[in-house]
Amino acid sequence: MPRKIEKLIKKEIQFPSLPAIAVEILDTVNKDDATLTQLGDLIALDPALSAKMLKIANSGIFSGAREISNLNRAMAILGTNTIRSIALSFVISSDLCSKRPGYNIEDFWKRSAISAVAAELIAKCVQHRDEDLFLTGLLQDLGVLTILLTKGDEYRILLDSYKDMQQDLKTLEQEKYGFDHQQVGNALLSSWNLPESITTPIRYHHCPNEAPSQYETSTRILDFANKLGELYTSNEDSQNVRIIQNEMAEQFDICPDDTLELIDQVAEKGRELIAMFDLDPSDIKPYTQLLQDANRQLEQLNLTNAQMILELQDAKKKVDRLVLKLQESNSRLRELVYQDALTGLYNHRYFQETLESEMARAKRYQASLSLVLFDIDNFKAVNDSFGHPAGDLVLMNIATAVKGAVRNSDVVARFGGDEFAIILPSTNAAGAKTFAENLRLAVEGIASLIDGQAISATVSLGVVTVLPSQASMSKSELIEIADNNLYQAKQQGRNRVTCSTVGS
């Protein structure tokens, strides 16, 4: 993953910590001289975890025909990596189930459990050995939960829009934040020191064609496991089953009937695992049973014309309500896509699109164009000393000051974290410098009151002006020059403006 994306994720997302017993399990397994007995003794310290371990070891997901009667035998038969995966799955899900992000956490873990079982069963079916796939399947969408715990209502609206309009979630996330839940999941699990055999397939589980070759098969399996999780928890229809059957035949040479049998097995074994997570599995039924129930209902239908007309009228009302809901979702989505939730300024995506159009306009009319990049000096110290709520207040107050200082034609955006960007159309070098100096002084005079204490802040600004003779300059080149000027302002002592002009 590019370091710029990693840095952005760490700045925007707060990672949940790994439970203490999970850290001990990983530390034990990662030791060169670790033994099964040491791992067993550690798990045995938690009776509830030990009991669940034996249940799942005998569930049919992992075991053969012989019953596994004690933890030591389970470890000897299943091996260290499988035992590690099973133990971590219960520890992590139990810990995160206690967090209530205002989202249906039970459905999230039901889908995750189905995906974990599906990954394990598909791997067996295609004879692919990967002892980490069960845990990888369970944790593949942990990035969604992590973003939700940090972003709250803002991300919930994004999820609703994704479900209502059936758009690609990772595309919406990239447009809104500059990263997606695959990348967040990868970064989180890497910070927990889980191996690349888990973190890399999660990074690419929606785009397996992009995965490194050594992880491609595991990532493809994870992609199908995710689709089966959606099938059983998101009201997906028979058309999706046919798509899965066709893709399984194309990629793994599995005939449609065998895929259908596999889909049923996923539901049956998934119900067992969901119950072990202390969740209600009653709404998970094998796909063929759902088809049989539907056929019985069709046989019982004996509708009169009047009844059919009434049902059509009801259906039209539902369609009308859905259209209205989609219109509302579109409106919310447009706002989400272009607006920064904290400051109310335009976001990074809007800035990129607008800068491109303004550069084209300047070229067409042979006009000057100026760009200002600035960030808050020593902002990390504000967060460290006063807390993130204080830092947020400083950001909002500065955003308010900037909005009051610009013209209607200027565009102000939050570039990311504590960095901001201002596009000044038809503005020459002298005008841009004057504007930047006035803005620096305005911010210098702002005091944010936190618990009776005034917090002051300053900004460093990098300014670049492009003259008509350099209209062919690219957007990235212009941003890079402004960013370098901002860096120079920092190096020269902060709370100052550094300007440059491109062209003659």
Instruction: Just list the catalytic residues.
Output: 418
Measured in whole angstroms, the distance separating CA 259 from the mean position of its chain's CA atoms is: 29
Q: How many other C-beta atoms are found inside a 10 Å radius of the C-beta of residue 93?
A: 22
Distance between CA atoms of residues 387 and 393, nearest Å: 10
Q: Give the residue from 213, 187, 152 showing the smallest Cα distance to 2.
A: 187
Q: Could you tell me the CA-to-CA distances from 222 to 226, 350, 439, 479 in Å, in that order? A: 6, 33, 51, 38
Q: Is 85 helix (H, G, I), strand (E, B) or coil?
A: helix
Cα–Cα distance measured from residue 70 to residue 75, given in angstroms and rounded to the nearest whole number? 9
Q: What is the rounded CA–CA span in Å between residue 74 and residue 489?
A: 62
CA distance 42 to 148: 32
Phi and psi (nearest 5°) for 413? -140, 150
What is the rounded distance in angstroms from the CA atom of residue 14 to the CA atom of residue 84? 26
d(CA 54, CA 225): 24
Taking alpha carbons only, the member of 59, 15, 36, 47 closest to residue 194 is 15
| Type of residue at 453 | Q
Torsion (CA) 182, 188, 189, 192 in degrees, nearest 10: 180
Half-sphere exposure of 342 (CA within 13 A, CB side): 24
Q: Are strands 459-466 and 497-502 parallel, antiparallel or unpaired?
A: parallel
Residue 140, C-beta contacts closer than 8 angstroms, at least 6 positions apart: 112, 115, 185, 201, 202, 205, 222, 225, 226
DSSP line for 236-263: --HHHHHHHHHHHHHHH---HHHHHHHH
Q: Is residue 465 classed as helix, strand or coil in its secondary structure?
A: strand
CA 98 to chain centre: 20
